[in-house]
Amino acid sequence: MGTSRALVRPASHGYDTRMPLLEGKRVLLGVGGGISAYKAPELVRRMNDAGADVRVVLTAAAQRFVAPLSLEIVSGHPVGLDLWQGSSESAPGAPRVVHTELGKDVDLIVLAPATANLIGRIRHGLADDLLTTTIMACQTPVLLCPAMNTEMLDNPLVRQNIDALVALDRYVTLEPGIGLLACGVTGPGRQPDPLDIIEAAAALLTHKSLTGLRVVVSAGPTHEPLDPVRVLANRSTGTMGFALARALAARGASVTIVAGPVEQRTPVGVARRIDVGSAAEMSDAITACWPMTDVLIMSAAVADFRPASAAPTKIKKRQQETPNITLAPTEDILLTASRRADRARVVLVGFAAETNDVLDYARQKLADKDLDGIVANDVARAGVGFGRGDNAGWLLTRDGREVALERAPKDRFADALADALTPTLLARKGTA
């Protein structure tokens, strides 16, 4: 959108319905009069799944695209429709000026879809219906989710309106998606998916304690070629690394993900993604990022060994003939980083996925690799570790801290880990 305060929308998608990113938050969803308004009930449902208490206001035009009753059912609250309506939730004998209180009663206002008309009216301070009047009568943060025809989005006047709003501290915009639009045009203008909106909302409500830090997070497995068809790999899905990247970006860090072969969507707010295959490719990517790195967090499950040589053609299965595969060690990326001449300027954090004696092995790795911190977790526990399940473990730091991290879904675990890491990272920030 041509502004530094725009949140970039990921290019790929996937959902974890257990993400409690908006737990305890109150959200006002303002729905503008665009075709994407029909997505509002699903967005409300997913916000509820994320822990939010959602109230909805529809513009007059939006009511032509989505039924107020459906939104009342999924939100559990009366839907705001008219500037002159009262509130059925007001106490008896206590009349309520709805438009002056509605925006003050919530933590965040989300406008989805934010149409060209709605954006223009807000930019020029017009207050001619319940939604715009509510926005004008409070200082609650506003997340704009522009969704409209591509030509309309590209109109210089519409762009000026968006940029003018985002230039104010109160407003943040989430980049629209690219695809086939209702008008038949393929291009930018699609409303972001619910998970993108939820992540952007959570980031907007998160204290920016790590602003200015450049963080590289590795995630996922590596694939070490055996022949043109087969690889040596492991069970990592990258879920933990991507969740941690999201949590750090939400706290203001500029985050680069170096990802092995995974099917993970890039979280909202992550600045850059580099996809790699093998351990050697991951090492090369991290080396390239090193001069611009303040913090390196190696959550990837990098292969310890690779075939000493890959067969040039597919190894055939023949009866009573089993191939002998010679293995060679891969580079220890963290150990290499710890031995760099300028290692002192970078915070190094590792992960120790163990099946026994977890803390003992983690303490040894912390010392042997000269790390600033290490996350230890017991992957032998059912439902913990690899995959989209939970995580649990400890953060151990160079200064002797050992913080227990309770079992939780990985996004919640990532937030707890980011909070536990913050003192160590802020020490780096203070010397940067």
Q: How many angstroms separate the CA atoms of 335 and 352, rounded?
A: 14
| DSSP-derived secondary structure letter, 330 | P
**Beta-bridge partner residues of 296:** 216, 348
Active site residue 145: no
**Residue type for position 27:** V
Residue located via tokens 């760099």: 340
Please state, in angstroms and rounded to a whole number, the distance separating the CA atoms of residues 111 and 32.
7
Contact 168, 229 (CB under 8 A): no
Residue 117 in tokens = 């008309």
Burial class (CB within 10 angstroms; exposed 0-12, middle 13-18, buried 19+) of 343: middle
Cβ neighbors of 288 (< 8 A, separation 6 or more) are none
Contacts of 353 (CB under 8 A, 6+ apart): 301, 377, 379, 385, 386
Helix axes 194-204, 239-250, angle to 10 degrees: 40
Q: Residue 424 and residue 205: Cα distance in Å, rounded?
A: 22
Question: Could you give the count of Cα atoms lying within 13 Å of 319 in the half-sphere of its Cβ?
Answer: 0
Tokens 């045009």 belong to: 185
Active site residues: 183
